[in-house]
Amino acid sequence: LPMAWRERFSVSIADTVISVGSLLAELRQRQGARRTHVVPNGVNYRVFAQAQEKRPHPPTLVYTGSIEEWSGLDVSLEGFARVRARIPEARFMIIGPDQNDYGRALRELVARLRLDDSVRFLGYQPYEELPRFLAEADIGVALFCPTDQMKYAFHLKVVEYMAAGLAVVGTRV
């Protein structure tokens, strides 16, 4: 509540509010913004297009970014277990800092599902290195949980996956 109040107050006294998407801009107008502009996030296509030159690899899913409960990685791993039952050589690369309770829970889930040999937690990787990993992947994963904050977010990872030539599995979020 205190944060929501601060947000509304800040928006109401600002001359102009810039948002990353139209849904967020509409929210800001309802909160009293005088003027709103949408400036969407983007991707450096030249950098990520390098990943379109694929290196030999087994069928691979990849997730990049924050490893938090809203990321939907638990659901992704449960689905991946079903994929592995049909495609034993498949692998799943998870790239991002995972030294939190959710990261530990995911590692336990991987062990429980007996996916230790096919799921790789690669930890934090520098942004400019991501295309190197995406060049060894086929499908980008973006199974976000619907939360109030997530519905206003612009998920740059989806655009990065597409620029890298990956198919994307995602939710409506």
Contact 140, 167 (CB under 8 A): yes
Give pLDDT tens digits for 108-160. Answer: 999 999 999 999 999 999 999 999 999 999 999 998 887 777 766 777 889 99
pLDDT tens, residue by residue, 82-106: 999 999 999 999 999 988 899 999 9
Structure tokens at 132: 């190197």
Measured CA to CA, the distance from residue 31 to residue 152 in angstroms comes to 14
User: What per-residue confidence (pLDDT) applies to 165?
Assistant: 95
173: tokens are 């979020």
Can you say whether the dihedral through the CA atoms of 49, 126, 159, 117 is positive or negative? positive
DSSP string, 49-108: HGGGSPPS-SSEEEEES--SGGG-HHHHHHHHHHHHHH-TT-EEEEES---SHHHHHHHH
Q: What are the pLDDT digits (tens) for 14-54? A: 999 998 788 888 999 999 999 999 887 778 888 899 999 99
Predicted structure pTM score: 0.78
User: How crowded is residue 40: how many other Cβ atoms within 10 Å of its Cβ?
Assistant: 11
